[in-house]
């Protein structure tokens, strides 16, 4: 059993690991002590109830208002602003007016957004889905110098080069044979003609000698 800020019991919620924040059945516990329902969009979270009453610092630290006075007991929804801060659905002008609250990865209130970091949900990689702060620089360098992109190329090119070497060698050898044949024919044919002419001349002269 978990309890809202109003003290009302939420029997369908249970305590999240590592804090006293609670989330409903089927919801994901985020490390910033908020919850994400499976049917909600990636940028809509819930400030769940607390495993202890009265409320303490180990529970959610945003949208701390009485649920029964606003929303008829419905737990408050949390949305991110463009600057990385978070606002509650109770205040629709919160992001526009710059009144968002910044939370670190563990759900503690901080004065400003962490330098060069972006919030993301769900995070990349394996493990339990949770709220994370991912440095923009590390994300850029990882994508720019990713080794897997080069290794498949190397593996693909190696067989291709070995397979294409044999046809190239055969093509190179064929012109050499053809050139040799042409040279042989160029020399042999004139010699054959000369020899044939000499033979004919010899036979005609011999025949003429016999006739005389």
- Of all residues in the chain, what percent carry a pLDDT higher than 90? 43
Position 34 confidence tier, pLDDT thresholds 50, 70, 90: very high
* pLDDT tens digits, 76-127: 999 999 999 999 988 999 999 999 999 998 999 998 765 434 444 443 333 3
Residue 196 host element (H or E): helix 151-211
How much is the pLDDT for 187?
A: 63
- Of all residues in the chain, what percent carry a pLDDT higher than 70? 60
pLDDT at 147 over 60: no
* pLDDT (average), residues 201-210: 72
Q: When comparing pLDDT for 150 and 186, which is higher?
A: 186
Position 212 confidence tier, pLDDT thresholds 50, 70, 90: low
How much is the pLDDT for 67?
A: 86
How much is the pLDDT for 140?
A: 29
How much is the pLDDT for 205?
A: 73
How much is the pLDDT for 184?
A: 62
Cα dihedral 127, 78, 44, 38 sign: positive
Position 181 confidence tier, pLDDT thresholds 50, 70, 90: low
Q: Quote the CA–CA distance of 168 and 150 in Å, as a whole number.
A: 26
35-36 and 86-88 as β-strands: parallel, antiparallel, unpaired? unpaired
Q: When comparing pLDDT for 5 and 176, which is higher?
A: 5
Closest to 88 (Cα-Cα) out of 46, 120, 48 = 46
How much is the pLDDT for 119?
A: 45
Per-chain mean pLDDT for the chain: 72
How would you class 36 by CB atoms within 10 Å of its CB: exposed for 0-12, middle for 13-18, buried for 19 or more?
Answer: buried
3-state secondary structure of 12: coil
* pLDDT tens digits, 61-81: 999 998 877 768 899 999 999
């Amino acid at each position: 059993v978990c309890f809202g800020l109003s003290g009302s019991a939420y029997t369908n919620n249970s305590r999240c690991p590592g804090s006293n924040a609670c989330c409903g059945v089927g919801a994901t516990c985020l490390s910033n002590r908020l919850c994400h329902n499976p049917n909600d969009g990636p940028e809509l979270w819930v400030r769940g109830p607390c495993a202890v009453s009265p409320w303490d610092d180990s529970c959610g630290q945003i949208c701390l208002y009485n649920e029964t006075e606003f929303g008829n007991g419905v737990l408050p929804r949390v949305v991110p602003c463009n600057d990385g801060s978070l606002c509650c659905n109770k205040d629709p002008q919160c992001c526009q007016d710059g009144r968002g609250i910044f939370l670190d990865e563990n759900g503690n209130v901080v004065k400003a957004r962490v330098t060069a970091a972006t919030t993301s949900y769900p995070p990349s990689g394996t493990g339990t889905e949770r709220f994370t702060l991912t440095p923009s620089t590390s994300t850029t360098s990882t994508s720019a110098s990713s080794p897997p992109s080069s290794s498949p190329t190397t593996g693909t090119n190696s067989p291709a080069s070995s397979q294409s070497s044999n046809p190239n060698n055969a093509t190179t050898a064929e012109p050499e044979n053809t050139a040799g044949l042409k040279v042989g024919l160029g020399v042999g044919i004139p010699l054959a003609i000369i020899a044939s002419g000499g033979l004919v001349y010899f036979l005609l002269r011999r025949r003429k000698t016999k006739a005389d």
